[in-house]
Structure 1
Amino acid sequence: MKIRELAQHWEENAKGRLTKTEYAIHLDVESAARLAAIAEMYPKRQTEELLGELIGAALEELEASFPYIKGQQVVATDEEGDPLYEDVGPTPRFLTLSRRYLHDYLHDMSASSDEQKH
């Protein structure tokens, strides 16, 4: 989700899956003031929900901003037959680590859900 899409998302009051992991953060005064303004503008959303969604959108934009760095290995060819080279920049590592942590979180959530059923 893009930052510019968050306001509409907040208006619709959607909710996503949450981990049990909690994070405590200190904001600079300007960021705290902006967050308070957003919380007042969208009172249906808890401040923690707003923070989570802002962080999620920022992470998506950060991932999109990582530079492509052309490697040596050809991994595919395009429709014109030209070689496409592996990305040796930060994106592949970020995606691999993100998938690993997602798997771990989903596994923990599943195990927790199974424990509650018994």
Structure 2
Amino acid sequence: MGKESLSKLLNTWETNASKANDLTETSISLFKSDLIRITALSQIYKLPEHEVIASLLHEALNELEATMPYIEGDKVIRVEDGEEIYEDIGPMPKYLAAQKNILNKAG
């Protein structure tokens, strides 16, 4: 193992350790076919199933957020470089408000 390999390994451990600190346990129901795929991924990558599930869910949510549509409303909320920016009346503002509400309730 060279220096680069050890450095990469340490970075991977560091990343995984910081992610593990943020993990919260919850119970979910899965389709049997999805559980089989998750189990197969955990076996070939030698990771616990809960880490595979957490990683997949995290990436899916990031992608979902990135693809949420912006729906232009009638109200101008600001002007940038001479261009009027209209309020978003799509799902994103409601989604962000729900997240904020949940965070506030959690303390």
TM-score by length of 1: 0.67
Instruction: List per-residue Cα deviations over 1:90-113 (Å, max 9, x = no partner).
Output: 0111111112223333x2xxxxxx
Q: How does 1:40-59 map to 2 (within 5 A)?
A: 40-43=43-46, 45-59=47-61
CA distance in 1 between counterparts of 2:77 and 2:21 reads 35
RMSD: 2.0
Runs (4 or more) in structure 1 with deviation over 6 Å come to none
SS in 1 for 2:51: helix
CA displacement 1:58-116 (0-9 Å, x = unmatched):
1111111111100011111122x1100000000111111112223333x2xxxxxxxxx
Radius of gyration: which is bigger?
A: 2
Q: 2: distance between equivalents of 1:32 and 1:19?
A: 19
CA separation of 1:102 and 1:49: change in aligned 2, threshold 3 A: farther
Quote the residue 2:5 is aligned against: none
Q: Percent same amino acid among aligned pairs? A: 29
Counterpart CA distance in 1 for 2:51 and 2:37 is 15
1:24 alignment partner, SS class: coil
Higher helix share: 2
1:75 is aligned to 77
Supply the distance in 2 between the matched residues of 1:59 and 1:36 (Cα, whole angstroms): 21
Using CA pairs under 8 Å that are at least 6 residues apart, name the structure with larger relative contact order, 1 or 2: 1
Residues 1:27 and 1:18: Cα distance change in structure 2 (over 3 Å)? same
1:1-118 counterparts in 2 under 5 A? 12-13=12-13, 14=16, 15-19=20-24, 22-29=26-33, 31-43=34-46, 45-79=47-81, 81-105=82-106, 107=107
Give 1:41 deviation, angstroms.
2.2
Q: CA deviation at 1:26?
A: 2.2
Query: How high is the TM-score relative to the length of structure 2?
Result: 0.73
Q: Which runs of 5+ in 1 are unaligned?
A: 1-10, 108-118
Aligned length: 92
